[in-house]
């Protein structure tokens, strides 16, 4: 029986000048290592943070977009139109998504309607609670517990409660959420789906 020795061929790229363990500088804006900031949706903010907090590291880093991009001064607010157009054309991906706030163009109005189901059964539809910044899942749980029935969030701003609670629900809403006044609650009565 012949025994053969296997040599391990590990190809490690070890930098002889580096000291291990490595110390990694994390960005205060995107929370990634600073060399990955250029791949985030807003690399300009990361560069500004790095230049403000660690100018020596910023001077050593040679980021391609940092050299090409014009320097933005937050106080001046002057951005060349070509750079602004180029920034709009770029596809933004990955990392923390930018949170877009909902536009409040819808008037603050809560509507209550009774919808017939089958024979003598009804469901109560409550719309418009989201315009008052009320969490719909929380409201759905509250209605289900208060009226001891099933309730669900069905649309973007709609809660369906199983049963006819049109008489009681106005008082319950005003009691639980005082920011909803009596004038902003509209009872539509019985409507078809």
pLDDT digits (tens, 9 = 90+) for 47-56: 888 888 888 8
Q: Where are the domains of the chain?
A: 21-68, 110-187
The Cα 184–Cα 128 span in angstroms is 10
Q: Answer yes or no: are the C-beta atoms of 191 and 114 closer than 8 Å.
A: yes
pLDDT digits (tens, 9 = 90+) for 67-86: 444 444 545 555 556 666 66
In this predicted model, which residue has the larger pLDDT, 85 or 122? 122
Q: CATH 3.30.780.10: does it fit domain 110-187? A: yes
How many CB atoms sit inside 10 A of residue 30's CB?
21
pLDDT digits (tens, 9 = 90+) for 31-50: 888 888 878 888 888 888 88
pLDDT digits (tens, 9 = 90+) for 124-174: 999 888 888 888 899 999 999 999 999 999 888 899 999 988 888 888 888
pTM exceeding 0.75: no
The Cα 127–Cα 29 span in angstroms is 38
The Cα 178–Cα 172 span in angstroms is 10
In this predicted model, which residue has the larger pLDDT, 78 or 176? 176
pLDDT digits (tens, 9 = 90+) for 88-114: 666 556 555 556 665 555 568 889 999
The Cα 100–Cα 47 span in angstroms is 23
């Amino acid at each position: 029986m012949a025994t053969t020795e296997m040599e391990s061929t590990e190809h490690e790229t070890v930098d002889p000048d580096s000291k291990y363990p490595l110390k990694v500088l994390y960005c205060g804006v995107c929370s990634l290592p600073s060399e990955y900031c250029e791949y985030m949706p807003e690399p300009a903010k990361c560069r500004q943070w790095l230049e403000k907090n660690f100018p020596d590291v910023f001077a050593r880093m040679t980021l391609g977009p940092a050299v090409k991009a014009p320097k933005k001064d937050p106080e001046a607010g002057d951005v060349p139109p070509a750079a602004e157009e180029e920034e709009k054309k770029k596809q933004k991906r990955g990392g923390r998504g930018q949170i877009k706030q909902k536009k409040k163009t819808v008037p603050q109005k809560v509507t209550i309607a009774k919808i017939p189901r089958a024979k003598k059964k009804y469901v109560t539809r409550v719309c418009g609670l989201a315009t008052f910044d009320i969490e719909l899942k929380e409201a759905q749980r509250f209605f289900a517990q208060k009226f001891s029935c099933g309730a669900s969030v069905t649309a973007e701003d709609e809660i369906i409660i199983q049963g006819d609670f049109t008489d009681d629900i106005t008082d319950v809403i005003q009691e639980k959420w005082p920011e909803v006044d009596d004038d902003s609650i509209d009872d539509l009565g019985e409507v078809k789906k």
